[in-house]
Structure 1
Amino acid sequence: MSDDDDFRAAADGVYQALLARVGEGAPEHRLDATRRAVELLGDPQRAYPIIHITGTNGKTSTSRIAESILRAYGLRTGLLTSPHLVRFNERIVIDGVPISDEELVRNWEDVQPYLEIVDSELVEAGKAPLTFFEALTVLAFAAFADAPVDVAVIEVGMGGEWDSTNVGDGQVAVFTPISLDHTKALGDTVAAIARTKSGIIKPAADVVSSAQPSDALSELIAAAELTESTFAAQPEAFDVATTAVAVGGQLVSIRGRAATYDELFLPLYGDHQAQNAAVAVAAVETFLGRGTQPLNRDLLEEGFATATSPGRLQLIGIEPSILVDAAHNPAGAESLAQALGTYFDFDEITVVFGALGDKDVRGIVRALVPIANQFYVTQVRSDRALDYLELGDLVREETDEDATFVYADAEEALVAARDWAAEAPRRAVVVTGSIVLVGDAMAISEAGGWKAAS
């Protein structure tokens, strides 16, 4: 066995060790446990400035676009996103590349003894040990310090105030659109969710926000005032000026905080991605020059051109076309439906669909019905998944019996949908509803040689 194989096996072991902890669907509402762990490690999260990003939809894409722009400026970047699609290493990205197996294992060996110390202290105090995401946060902060990076773009796991990433102090706090999601953990109103998310705003920070519902905006403004932070929100401070469909993506013009940047090629589909790009530009303008210095046009073009957002309206198969999108709430599904109508010209679409039990599944389906000729409902590989038979019944209630088919196995559903699409031109398959399902579809496509050339 080669050294690469050894490190691959060891890296998979790291992921298994993390999976043995309480999962991401049941976060602890606390910071003290993560704070204790990073203190024992010498506070690696203080070794570099942080751009901290939260919201309900668009967090990952905004994070990736901002990181790409910063890297175009020659900065060595760290990027933490969740969840992963195919391999765990995708969550911790250093200078544009997922952390190597060797670096992952080495950093894990460094932090594991300290995690065990904190686990023991917590158990002795009658509290739960560090969760999966708390341990991941510690690992990522340590890996970024070890790299080392010049700046880290950190995506919140869930919420904000008590999310483990909040042990880091964001120089810039960024908010993508806020809507209802994770209501059991975050609250059942947009205002309550925004209040929790506003907890990432630190004293005298700079705040950048996308356009928000009025009740969310009020919460963010109040938090910024309380912390004596600056506040720049869309559309007053920045906005998307124009978008136009282009081959492989779109041409966008963005009115930034410091300048207007005309006709930039963005290799991502959907008006929502243009909005994410505008927030990313404002965030980088804020980080580099407090929103007063225009970005370099050539570097911004490079940052946009090299930006990727895997699993977000991504073409993973051709002849027939197979797309995946990580929409897992109604707002995300509405953006997906709109983008499919604007950027593609399919005659018929089958949606391969699976979902977790804590999602507004009926709302997602209703958003997709206008663009879907039929649904192939399947089981998501997660202990939080909604049973495929129950999901099938729910989808039938929103569509009809003849347009809904159920499959216990996701690969079987995907192959059947692909066979259907191959029977006629201008048919397509869209896989959505769950990030886990999207990741599995990407792996199946790769193994089957369906993937489109990049």
Structure 2
Amino acid sequence: MPPAPDAAQREAARTLEVLKRMRLAEEAILARAPEHDLQPSLDRIQAVMELLGDPQRTFPVIHLTGTNGKTSTTRIIDSLLRELGLKTGRFTSPHLHSMRERIALSGVSISAEQFLDAYDEVLPFVEMVDARSVAEGGPLMTYFEVLVAIAYAAFADAPVDVAVVEVGLGGSWDATNVADGSVAVVTPIALDHQHFLGHDVESIATEKSGIIKPDSLVVAGIQEPEVAQILAERAGEVGARIAFEDTEFGLLTREVAVGGQQLSVRGLAGEYDELMLPLHGAHQAHNTVLALAAVEAFLGGGEQRLDPDLVRAGLATAASPGRLEVVRRSPTVLVDAAHNPAGALALRDALEDSFTFARIIGVIAILKDKDATEMLEILEPVLDHVVVSRTTSPRAMRPEELGDLAIEIFGEDRVTVVADLPDALDVAAGLADEGGLGGGVLATGSVTTAAEVRMLLGVSEV
């Protein structure tokens, strides 16, 4: 008889089986309509939630929408809540490397085993709703809808004390909106995803205001006047209280520091000074202001000051991978997930504010449904040269097309077109070194660009 497997062998076999099951689950989820293929209805996700017993109603929710800064603000809120002793669930999108990153329990990406447990729990009900929808001439549940169901089931199973949930797209029709946030957070609203959300900020703001629920407390970042009016009107309609940055709370002082910045903040319930934030750029300072107000709103209705030492500790561990992140030295390589003009503007300002490169080379890869021309125009003053390329995304703009746009803005002598991203990164590093010490590389244009450059340089932690 062959010898019985020892414990190590049994564990290795179990791990292999989990990885195999995880791969099959990911393939099945990815086979569904992608998240940029919006199906504007909550009917399917609501049906699944009801069949599951509405797990999203078993824990309080802080719900975030806006155009830029959502993921960073979500992660900062999560970090603060954990430092204050709460068990958290965090849902963000899109991911950089693995769909499991989107679902975090107490700050850690959900394990494959936990993901599969939740997936196995929701799958029979997803299949029931799929069958019903198809019979009525409707679509299958989307990739994003299934992930939302998995997240809410996992949070209930954990269980968590609070879930911090970032919308995928919009607000009213976003699948996450089957939950009712006791606190709604609205980061600055600008133009993006116009083909789904509307072609002006008023339409986009109206869609995003749908996460504001009755009796909730809303904290809103600095907004255009017409956007602020729409948010205030929505809050009034449903009986929510709303507080705006620069009115009820705000940034008092900000100083660039080694490894980040030092802040003083006026919250809803008091002031906090000597806050060290290990993230770069004024936009991250404002994300922090919003996050702190959201936590005050959640824990004390905006009327109870938090322990300043715990706030300092929570911010000291805040991280936002892929957001003006240093992923290599010699030359320094930064990655940033800016994918629209507002994001590009925040990136440009942060570069000017926090970094002093003698020469900086951009590696630019943008998706074809984005406003590439405006993004390039915004970044032109801070980039000495751009290496235009593409990611592996099927939505990526062709390098030749993007290169033509870049030449119109930068001039032919400041643009190099390289078909493949790995080669583009090598070319950019060489160009950065040409001026001697002090050169740097910035890879940006989409979340996929940031993710693929991170992977190429051996960085996969989130």
1:209 paired with 2:220, answer: yes
Residue in structure 2 matched with residue 442 of structure 1 by the alignment: 454
Summarize the alignment of residues 57-136 of structure 1 with structure 2, pairs less than 5 Å apart.
57-136=68-147
| Correspondence for 2:444 | 432
Three-state SS of the structure 1 residue aligned to 2:457 is helix
The amino acid across from 1:323 in the alignment is L
Measure how far apart 1:422 and its partner are: 3.3
Equivalence map 1:321-360=2 (5 Å): 321-360=332-371
- How far apart, CA to CA, are the structure 2 residues paired with 1:4 and 1:245? 45
Give the counterpart letter for 1:177 in structure 2.
P
Q: Which of 170, 191, 194 is 2:205 aligned to?
A: 194
Q: For structure 1, which segment, 3-12 or 100-109, has the greater mean C-alpha deviation from structure 2 after superposition?
A: 3-12
Secondary structure (helix, strand or coil) at the match of 1:323 reads strand
1:133-148 pair list within 5 angstroms: 133-148=144-159
Counterpart CA distance in 2 for 1:115 and 1:16 is: 16
Match of 1:284 among 295, 319, 343: 295
Instruction: Indicate the residue corresponding to 1:154 in structure 2.
Output: 165
Segment of structure 1 superposing worse, 6-15 or 285-294: 6-15
Between 1:334-343 and 1:274-283, the stretch displaced more is 334-343
Of the three residues 241, 245, 254, the one matched with 2:252 is 241
> Map of 1:298-313 to 2, 5 A cutoff?
298-313=309-324
- Within 5 Å, give how 1:258-273 maps onto structure 2: 258-273=269-284
The residue aligned with 2:405 is 394
Deviation per CA, 1:41-97: give whole Å up to 9, x if none.
111101100000000000000000001000001100000000111121111010010
Cα deviation code 1:238-292 (max 9, x no counterpart): 0011110111110011110100101200000000000000000000000000100
Mean Cα deviation higher: 410-419 or 296-305 = 410-419
Q: 2:414 aligns with which of 403, 428, 441?
A: 403
Shift of 1:6: 3.0
Contact preservation (8 Å) 1:285, 1:294: yes
Deviations 1:3-53 (A, max 9, x none): 333323322322221110000111111111100011111111011000000
Task: Measure how far apart 1:133 and its partner are.
Answer: 0.6
Q: Is the 8 A contact 2:197 2:204 kept in 1?
A: yes
CA distance in 2, matches of 1:9, 1:427: 43
CA distance in 2, matches of 1:176, 1:405: 35
TM-superposed CA distance for 1:358, in Å, is: 1.4
Conserved in 2, the CA contact under 8 Å of 1:380 and 1:434?
no
Shift of 1:219: 0.6
In structure 1, C-alpha distance between the alignment counterparts of 2:110 and 2:187, rounded to whole Å? 26
- Secondary structure, in 3 states, of the residue corresponding to 2:458? helix
The structure that has the greater radius of gyration is: 2
- Mapped to 2, the partners of 1:349 and 1:373 lie a distance apart of 6
Note if contact 2:338-2:445 (Cα within 8 Å) is conserved in structure 1: yes
Asked if 1:3 is matched to 2:14, the reply is yes
Which residue identity is paired with 1:211?
A: I
SS at match of 1:241: strand
- What residue in structure 1 maps to residue 47 of structure 2? 36
| Separation of aligned partners in 2, 1:129 and 1:258 | 46
Matched, 1:297 2:308: yes
- Inter-partner Cα distance in structure 1 for 2:220 and 2:25: 35
Contact 2:391 2:452 in 1 (8 A): no
1:375 is paired with a residue of what secondary structure? strand
After TM superposition, the structure 1 = structure 2 runs for residues 308-319 of structure 1, keeping only pairs within 5 Å, are: 308-319=319-330
Cα shift at 1:316? 0.2
- Indicate the SS of the match to 2:182: strand
C-alpha contact 2:73 2:287 (8 A) present in aligned 1: yes
Pairwise CA distance, 1:304: 0.1
User: C-alpha distance in 1, partners of 2:203/2:217?
Assistant: 22
2:37 maps to 1:26 = yes
Once residues 250 and 5 of structure 1 are traced to their aligned partners in structure 2, the CA distance between those partners, rounded to angstroms, is 44
Q: Distance in 1 between matches of 2:415 and 2:23?
A: 37
Post-superposition CA distance 1:356-402 (Å, at most 9, x none)? 11111111111100000111111122222211211111111111111
Q: What is the RMSD computed on CA atoms of the aligned residues?
A: 1.3
Gaps of 5+ in 1: none
Letter in 1 for 2:407: R
Does residue 220 (structure 1) correspond to residue 231 (structure 2)? The answer is yes
| Counterpart secondary structure, 2:288 | helix
C-alpha contact 2:324 2:335 (8 A) present in aligned 1: yes
User: Which 10-residue stretch deviates more, 388-397 or 188-197?
Assistant: 388-397
Q: How far apart, in 2, do the equivalents of 1:243 and 1:13 lie?
A: 48
What is the distance in 1 between the residues matched to 2:281 and 2:325? 11
* Cα offset, 1:110, TM superposition: 1.4
Aligned equivalents of 1:14 and 1:264: distance in 2?
Answer: 42
Partner of 2:8: none
**Counterpart amino acid of 1:257?**
L
SS at 2:53's partner residue? coil
- 1:209-249 deviation per Cα after TM superposition (whole angstroms, max 9, x unaligned): 00100111111001000001001001111001111011111
Task: Give aligned pairs, total.
Answer: 450
TM-score normalised according to structure 1 size:
0.97
Which residue of the partner structure matches residue 177 of structure 1? 188
Q: What amino acid sits opposite 1:426 in the alignment?
A: G
**Structure 2 matches for 1:359-378, cutoff 5 A?**
359-378=370-389
Q: Which moved more, 1:8-17 or 1:90-99?
A: 8-17
1:30–1:162 contact (8 Å) kept in structure 2: yes
Length-normalised TM-score, structure 2? 0.96
